[in-house]
Amino acid sequence: MKVQTLYGPVQEDIVLVEAQFDLIKQVELVPLAQMLDHVLGAGGKRIRPGLALLGGTFGDYDLDKLVPLAASIELLHTATLVHDDVIDAAATRRGRATANHLYDNAVSVMIGDFLFAHAADLVARIGNVRVVRLFARTLMKIVTGELDQDVGAFDASKQIGDYLKRIGGKTASLFATACEGGAIAAGAPEPYAEALRDYGHNLGVAFQIVDDILDFVGDEAVMGKPAGSDLMQGTLTLPALFAMEEAAGKAAITRLFGARRNKAALLEEALAIIRSGDAVPRSQTVAEEYARRATLAIESLPDTEGHRTLDELTRYVLMRES
């Protein structure tokens, strides 16, 4: 699928979401305006706001409600990325300098807080208490997932169940909220909202697993980060966990996590083991299973262009290269 047609019947309305970001940048404090322009100007495929709009197609497609919701979802996502980069001391993201690299950690944290506040303001404009509560609970899940990742860094005892629980909060919860929130804001029937929530959760898990696979085998120029960045940060993802089921993989990753010197060489050793074994294809199989669950979750929904677009998105998530 081309980015220009990724969201089918709601593609043209993504522009209205982008316009919300332009309004946010119009602040009196010039340095803040410049910082917001950098953070919000990174672009991207806007899959989360796209899902919110698509969820709205199963009810009363009211852009006065759905555009603020879609924008709030993306702002929440962007704010978490800004804070992530501070925690990870990341210099780049997707090939662009991070806010904390251009400015400093304290300023970057405040930029993230500013985005969180704007996201909350936008979601409150919808005038639906249920959506506001959903938004708040999702933020708590995201933070819990991030905390689990950070406090568990360099812990080689983590299991696949721990990983799935973490990405369920860190990534999948926002996908689920985008889909369910769009349905709720549009007044869709409750069974539709529940089906879309399940779709979003499973799609989000598949999305994150593919992201974690690309961290090992993706094109570094396209990804905008060095291969094995997760391992260097002490994060065990699914390919690494599968590799650790073999003695060689477990030994290599354990050595990397415990090392204070020569980490680059140890990383290359771990990467070679992960890439040469069955860890990557096994991970891809798991991603495909979650994508299948996503498709099944909405099987009973009306056969509309929005439904067909959601089915196409599951295939896109599995095939994407960045």
DSSP secondary structure of 194-234? HHHHHHHHHHHHHHHHHHHHHHHHS-HHHHTS-TTHHHHTT
The whole-model pTM stands at 0.95
| Predicted local distance difference test score (pLDDT) of residue 249 | 98
Give CA–CA dist 73/206, Å, rounded.
19
Query: What are the tens digits of pLDDT across the range 111-131?
Result: 999 999 999 999 999 999 999
Neighbours of 277 (CB within 10 A): 17
The candidate with the shortest Cα–Cα distance to 130, out of 68, 177, 67, 176, is: 177
Query: What are the tens digits of pLDDT across the range 39-71?
Result: 888 778 899 999 999 999 999 999 999 999 999
| Predicted local distance difference test score (pLDDT) of residue 138 | 96
Average pLDDT over residues 83-102: 71
Region of 211 (left: φ > 0; alpha: ψ -120 to 50; beta: rest) is: alpha
- Give the pair of three-digit tokens for residue 10: 């709601």
Give CA–CA dist 7/159, Å, rounded.
35
Q: Give the confidence band of 86 by pLDDT, cuts at 50, 70, 90.
A: confident
Q: Which CATH class is domain 3-319?
A: mainly alpha
Query: What are the tens digits of pLDDT across the range 253-307?
Result: 999 999 989 999 999 999 999 999 999 999 999 999 999 999 999 999 999 999 9
Query: What are the tens digits of pLDDT across the range 201-245?
Result: 999 999 999 999 999 999 887 777 889 999 999 999 999 999 999
List residues bridging with 93 in a β-sheet.
96
Q: Give the confidence band of 3 by pLDDT, cuts at 50, 70, 90.
A: low
